[in-house]
Structure 1
Amino acid sequence: MPCLNLSTNVNLEGVDTSSILSEATSTVAKLIGKPEAPAAYGELVSIGGLNAEVNKKLSAAVADILSTKLSVPKSRFFLKFFDAKASFSYLLGVIGSIYKVFNIIQLMDNIIK
C-alpha cells in the first residue's frame, strides 16, 4: 500500500493538482508493483494514553469509519501510532514562545522605522 505525500512551496493557484497527484500515484504504484486500490494511511500522535490495547481499539474504530464513509477496505488501512513524551511538548512550547517574541520584536522594529 504505497502512500505518497507531497509538499511544495510552489503557488498552486490555477494548477490542476488532481491530475498531478493521479499521475504521480500511478507512477509510484507501477514502479513498485503495488495496486492503486483504495487505501488509507494515518498517523496518531498523543502525549500518553496509547498502548497496545488502546491502539487496537483505535485502529478498529477508524477503520470502521473509513470503510463506511470512504469504502476503504479495513485490510487496506494502516495507522501509525506515536506516543510523544511530555518533555517534547515542553520543548515545542519553548520554541513557540521564542518565535512569538521574535515576531513581536520584528513588529516593534517595523513600527519604529
Structure 2
Amino acid sequence: MPCLYITTNVNMEGVDTDPFYLEVTKAVASIVGRPQNLVMVVLKGSIEIVFGGNKEAAAYAEIVSMGGITKQYIELISLSINPTHFILKVFDMQALPLPSKL
C-alpha cells in the first residue's frame, strides 16, 4: 500500500483539507499504478519546523511504495511551500533485496 506522509509548519487550522486529500490520493494512485482505495495520505500541519534558521513555510514528506516511485512526487504538494524548503524522503520497497530463505 503506497503511503504519503507529510509534515509541515503551515497552519492547517480551519483549512478544508478534503480537496487536498482527494487530489493527492488520485495523483499518488496514478503515479504508482495502484487503485485509489489502496493509497494512504497523512497530513500533519502546524508542526514546529525551522529550515535554514527561520520559520518560513517548510515541509518534510515521506513516500513509501512497492515500485512506481518517480520524481513527480514533489509536484504533489500544493501547500504554497518554496521547493527549496521541501524535503522528500523516498522509500521504494521494490528496490530492497528479497529476504533470505535461511
TM-score (norm 2): 0.40
Larger helix proportion of the pair? 1
Bigger relative CO (Cα 8 Å, ≥ 6 apart): 2
Tell me the TM-score normalized by structure 1: 0.36
